Structure 1
Amino acid sequence: MVLKMGYHLETYLFNPPFASLPRHFIKSEKLRGGLHFAHTVVKAGVAVGMSAVVKNMKIAEDKEEFSVLSPWIPYLFINPLDTICAGYLEHFRQSEKKAAGGAGEIARFAERNSVRSMVSNAWGKDSKPSHLIPSAYVILDLNRSPDLMVAHKLRQWWRPDLKLDYKLYQLDNK
């Protein structure tokens, strides 16, 4: 609704799926950062390469769609132990680090594209990297979950002993 009609509805998303490798389980910050950097470079390279090979393939090189999404700030309720949605937390944390470190154009270009969208576009389907939202309130469930199934269930958000932390992430849309 944001991209097509310009409506910025107040949105609450519980355990929203984010297709990514579960890097958050890697304890070493350096290794996680290195994998994220390698993924960023490869994704940017694939986007440029596919746009050169597939005629009329639109990559999110221009920042228009990312800018249109910027005023929309959904509330993402995430359990950091949930591998299905923890990719959002990693996405925002790494993007924040890139912004603080003065990330270059390759990093900005890569964060506006998704492999899923590029593959869909290559097959002739119009696909937008809509899961790569530029801003969100990320609300974390700090309670320990015994396994993935419990970490992904909706009922965790109605526990009487709920311990939460939150942060507003607003990525640079330059």
Structure 2
Amino acid sequence: MGRGLRKLMAGGGATTASDSDCDTFSIFGPFHLTSIDWTNSYYRTSVASSLVNGVYTLEGDRLEKRVGSESLANPWWEFFNFTLLETLIDDDGAIYGAVFEYNLYNLYQNTPNVKVPHHVIAFRGTVLKGKTWKSDMKLNLKFSFNNLHHGGRSLHAVKAIRSMVEKHSESAIWLAGHSLGAALVLLAGKTMTSVGYLLESYIFNPPISTIPLEQLPGGDKIRGVFQIAKTVVKATVAMALADHQLKEDDPRTASWIPYLYVNPADPICAGYIDYFKHKTFMSEIGAGLIERTGARQSVRSLLVGRKEKASMSDLSKEPLHLLPSADMTVNKNKPTKSTSAHGLHQWWERDSSLRENWESCCIRPYPEDKLEQLTIQ
């Protein structure tokens, strides 16, 4: 799940920009942002997504053996005054992440109420080139079976994040990821939350291991009935197999508010829209606790009676999409010949008229089992 799926997600015989164009900042990047207003969410989103694309390009440079003046990666962070501190490398030598430092951070030290990162740790998604695709697809399979926390890349990524948190204030460390990299950010964010660290996170087109009801025919009512029935069945079976109790969310997890970026035309991440709609509806009818209990179990695990294997790690083991809180941006623009619903580039959209079709949704738990209203047409 990542850049390798870009052409497949474009649909039909549509054409998209070539991989070399995607790697070339002067052609494909947000070069219109000659200065950064950190108080503006669009600017923060553009910078975070550009750094993630920088990780894609680092791996592209490695695979294509582009070195020196032929390397294309540096402009993706240098344009915004970031320095590459460290590359995160998988066992097979693939670059899957990077740690960036913002050179102008000290200028904002005494500026209150302005979100500015000191460091950004960014993760790319799937690359279907060279030998990289093998390790990436293995992780995609782990994600599909809710086993991402068993992956060596996951352990390595969280270790790198913890190391940065120990050296610096967590309030100045941001996480960012796209597709499979977004899943890593969800896993790392939940893991760090469990030990008291709430890292600002930018999560682009995150995969969700549920049926994308947004893509199914039948209308909202039929999809809603299906979702309610599925939740009740899962909650009932889960209680029967466990301790017969409904469990509340961990309040620490509820305090973490990641930024999610989804497109309803992207089946990989569209399920988040339906997930939060359903979560809000169940809360409104007083069934929020049932919804949370059912959400903790996958249909697959209940059908086969699979129990969680013992893990040597302390990474979060709950379903990654289980989020009590989020700030979600929905890009309601339809894919075109030059854009993809799963593409990272949509999140630094230069056309302000197209950005007007972005819809912001704030999901927060409220007392007495109430959630903020979520309406997405």
2:362 pairs with 161, 168, 173, which one?
168
Alignment partner, residue 122 of structure 1 = 307
Map 1:32-111 to 2 at 5 A.
Answer: 32-51=223-242, 61-63=246-248, 65=250, 67-103=251-287, 105-111=289-295
C-alpha change, 1:98 and 1:73, in structure 2 (3 Å) is same
* Shift of residue 73, structure 1, vs aligned partner: 0.6
Q: Please state if 1:7 is matched with 2:192.
A: no
What does the per-residue CA deviation read over 1:134-154, in whole Å, with 9 as the maximum and x for residues that have no partner? Answer: 01011011211149x911111
Partner secondary structure for residue 73 of structure 1: coil
* Shift of residue 125, structure 1, vs aligned partner: 3.9
Instruction: Report the AA paired with residue 114 of structure 1.
Output: Q
Q: Taking every aligned residue pair, what percent have the same amino acid on both sides?
A: 35
Instruction: Report the AA paired with residue 85 of structure 1.
Output: C
Partner secondary structure for residue 255 of structure 2: coil
Q: Distance in 1 between matches of 2:305 and 2:320?
A: 13
Partner secondary structure for residue 69 of structure 1: helix
Asked whether the 8 Å contact 1:50–1:122 carries over to 2, the reply is no
Q: Distance in 2 between matches of 1:42 and 1:132?
A: 17
Q: Please state if 1:20 is matched with 2:204.
A: no
What does the per-residue CA deviation read over 1:6-50, in whole Å, with 9 as the maximum and x for residues that have no partner? Answer: 100111100011111011123411101111011102211331243
Instruction: Report the AA paired with residue 37 of structure 1.
Output: I
Asked whether the 8 Å contact 1:137–1:167 carries over to 2, the reply is yes
* Shift of residue 64, structure 1, vs aligned partner: 5.0
* Shift of residue 68, structure 1, vs aligned partner: 1.5
Instruction: Report the AA paired with residue 297 of structure 2.
Output: S
C-alpha change, 1:171 and 1:75, in structure 2 (3 Å) is same
* Shift of residue 97, structure 1, vs aligned partner: 1.1
Name which of structure 1's ranges 88-97 and 100-109 shifts more when overlaid on structure 2. 100-109
Asked whether the 8 Å contact 1:40–1:110 carries over to 2, the reply is yes
Alignment partner, residue 56 of structure 1 = none
C-alpha change, 1:120 and 1:16, in structure 2 (3 Å) is farther
Q: Distance in 2 between matches of 1:154 and 1:27?
A: 30
Alignment partner, residue 133 of structure 1 = 323
Q: Distance in 1 between matches of 2:193 and 2:318?
A: 10
What does the per-residue CA deviation read over 1:82-112, in whole Å, with 9 as the maximum and x for residues that have no partner? Answer: 111111111111111111222264334223x
Q: Distance in 2 between matches of 1:45 and 1:102?
A: 16
Partner secondary structure for residue 268 of structure 2: coil
1:151 pairs with 341, 344, 347, which one?
341
C-alpha change, 1:79 and 1:45, in structure 2 (3 Å) is same
Partner secondary structure for residue 151 of structure 1: coil
Q: Distance in 2 between matches of 1:130 and 1:105?
A: 18
Greater relative contact order structure (CA < 8 Å, 6+ sep): 1
Could you list the runs of 5+ residues in structure 1 that have no partner in the other structure? 53-58
Aligned residues: 165
Asked whether the 8 Å contact 1:141–1:165 carries over to 2, the reply is yes
C-alpha change, 1:60 and 1:83, in structure 2 (3 Å) is farther
Greater Cα radius of gyration, structure 1 or 2: 2
Asked whether the 8 Å contact 1:2–1:69 carries over to 2, the reply is no
Asked whether the 8 Å contact 1:44–1:106 carries over to 2, the reply is yes
Which consecutive aligned stretches of 4+ in structure 1 deviate over 6 angstroms post-superposition?
116-121
Q: Distance in 1 between matches of 2:206 and 2:222?
A: 26
Q: Distance in 1 between matches of 2:218 and 2:344?
A: 27
Could you list the runs of 5+ residues in structure 2 that have no partner in the other structure? 1-190, 312-316, 370-377
